[in-house]
Structure 1
């Protein structure tokens, strides 16, 4: 059902190469036949009603069954494009290389990885899988916790040694455009008088500045630990760990391509748990 997959009548019309009137007429006929309203019009487009969501799920099951019956022998792997959305640091520093290893194993499966600071909507079909920081507030989605992400102060060895011996810390932080991010707000609140000698827009640039001895960078462990030229500095306090969650649409739970990528993501975070979590003891 093209409307459910693209989220609006305009997208559906483009996908089917038919005009709006035809889409609207077919949709009205389907609603009449089922006796239920399937879509709700909003200022920025159309969204599915609960009845529409149920209808889409049923149509998806039928489509999957037809696809299964129509496969040739030996061609029963996942097929299609799966869109994954994640925060920039996670996408660039952890997911790119690992997700890129999936398509060679499944010749019919393509992955589209988007890095975005804004929260994209699963309901509007802006993505198929969302990897997010913090407990999700979405409605009818499937959400599973992946791992807990801890933080630490990382810097060149001699900078860490100097601070651990009692010198006032000098920091590398976020630029003014990104001063609203949780890590930037936390650092300003807990070290209000400290000098921030270098500012950059992302944590990988901050890690590079820390390597150059500009100061200490507050980094997620998965960024700091993978840079062998950085040392973890014994400086407290540090921010509370944040949970990383994986979200999918409930109606997609039986879709083989999405399920394949979800299983791969779950496995890779589980296997790399030690890279993310704060060590105790």
Structure 2
């Protein structure tokens, strides 16, 4: 048996797809397939079955996986990668639309500078990919997962406030307290297609009416507020970025948190460790911006 073939076996077992495993290890899929066949020949049994969604382990593969994990842990204990060194390969990261658009993407070039061989797929959308099902390598969620083979830590707290444009406020009734919100046009989420209960911001503001203008996109809500359509609840790292928006009612501050989640079997992969380290340090440096201090 060629011991160097075991990392390929592990990568395929974890990703469920030969192509994804090859990307993770920064090799081409043809080489990965050839070395998998060599490993199967040396073991004398088929390790994977090909299905419509990729590769799944055979009983022989399940047995080998147990031993391969033990060997991987032993190798990691003998000598670990230099955490400051460059890494190669591809990593997929799932984040909320607002955090991905307004925070992560703004700084992502610094990660690329530190690791020129690292490719990042940033999935910033209304909804999340699942680390448990290996749809993503890293996820930044709005709530802590309650189950699954996951490693979870709080990444950062963040604040949300009410914002409106100067133009809107010039023509609108006075807004001196939450009781005045009933006289204003509010902007918010479409209530029956919220992808996370943590987005029910207006429920926490006494006197806030139902939003008249609604969107599943926080970016669309930001645009509506910027163009004078009404009053919106926005994360401070989004609302404070615009010179056209004004913070309203300083006594109303909502608090939420971002949770950083990885799969327990892939958290030590070089790509995952590099990204997690980078994002953790980045969030710490920008704590005041995220919290809206």
TM over 0.5: yes
Tell me the CA shift for residue 77 of structure 1. Answer: 2.1
1:254 corresponds in structure 2 to 268
- CA distance, structure 2, for counterparts of residue 208 and residue 201 of structure 1: 13
Q: Name the structure 2 match of 1:106.
A: 115
Identify if the C-alpha distance between structure 1 residues 40 and 207 changes in structure 2 by more than 3 Å, giving closer, same or farther.
same
CA distance in 2, matches of 1:57, 1:221: 45
Q: Deviations over 1:102-151 (max 9, x none)?
A: 11222222211112333322233221111111112242222111111222
Give the Å deviation of 1:81: 1.3
- Is it true that 1:194 corresponds to 2:206 in the alignment? no
Aligned partners of 1:245, 1:54: CA distance in 2, in Å? 32
Check whether the contact 2:160–2:233 (CA below 8 A) recurs between aligned residues: yes
Show structure 1 runs of 5+ residues with no match.
Answer: 33-37, 69-75
Distance change in 2, residues 1:183/1:26 (3 Å): same
C-alpha distance in structure 2 between counterparts of 1:18 and 1:106, whole Å: 23
Q: What stretches of structure 2 of length at least 5 have no aligned partner? A: 1-8, 23-27
* Counterpart pick for 2:221 among 198, 202, 206: 206
Matched, 1:273 2:282: no
- Residue 162 of structure 2: aligned partner: 153
Match of 1:72 in 2: none
User: Would the alpha carbon gap of residues 6 and 61 (structure 1) be closer, same or farther in structure 2, given more than 3 Å must change?
Assistant: farther
Q: What is residue 218 of structure 1 aligned with on the other side?
A: 233
Deviation of residue 28 (structure 1)? Answer: 11
CA RMSD of aligned residues (A): 4.3
1:163 aligns with: 175
**Which SS does the other structure have where 1:4 is aligned?**
helix
State the alpha-carbon separation in 2 of the partners of residues 17 and 242 from structure 1: 45
Q: 1:273, 1:66 → 2: CA distance?
A: 34
Report if aligned partners of 1:150, 1:220 keep a CA contact under 8 Å in 2.
Answer: yes
Question: SS of the counterpart of 1:103?
Answer: helix
Equivalent pair of 2:155/2:280 in contact (CA under 8 Å): yes
Q: How far apart, in 1, do the equivalents of 2:173 and 2:286 lie?
A: 28
**Counterpart of 1:163 in 2: which secondary structure?**
coil
Q: Report the number of matched residues.
A: 263
Q: Which residue of structure 2 lines up, in the alignment, with residue 4 of structure 1?
A: 13
Distance 1:85 1:266 in 2: 15
1:52 is aligned to 2:65: yes
Alpha-carbon offset, residue 86 of structure 1: 0.7
CA contact (8 A) 1:135 1:243 kept: no
Distance 1:120 1:179, change over 3 A: closer
Change (3 A) 1:135 1:155: same
CA distance in structure 1 between the partners assigned to 2:195 and 2:135 by the alignment: 24
TM-score normalised per structure 1: 0.72
Shift of 1:177: 7.1
Contact in 2 for aligned 1:39/1:52 (Cα 8 Å): no
Cα offset, 1:11, TM superposition: 7.0
State how 1:74-153 maps to structure 2 within 5 Å.
77-153=86-162
Secondary structure at the residue paired with 2:174?
helix
Q: What CA distance in whole angstroms lies between the structure 2 residues aligned with 1:57 and 1:227?
A: 52
Query: What residue in structure 2 maps to residue 233 of structure 1?
Result: 248
- Contact (CA 8 Å) 2:94, 2:123: kept in 1 or not? yes
Aligned to 2:259: 245
Which segment is superposed worse, 192-201 or 248-257?
192-201
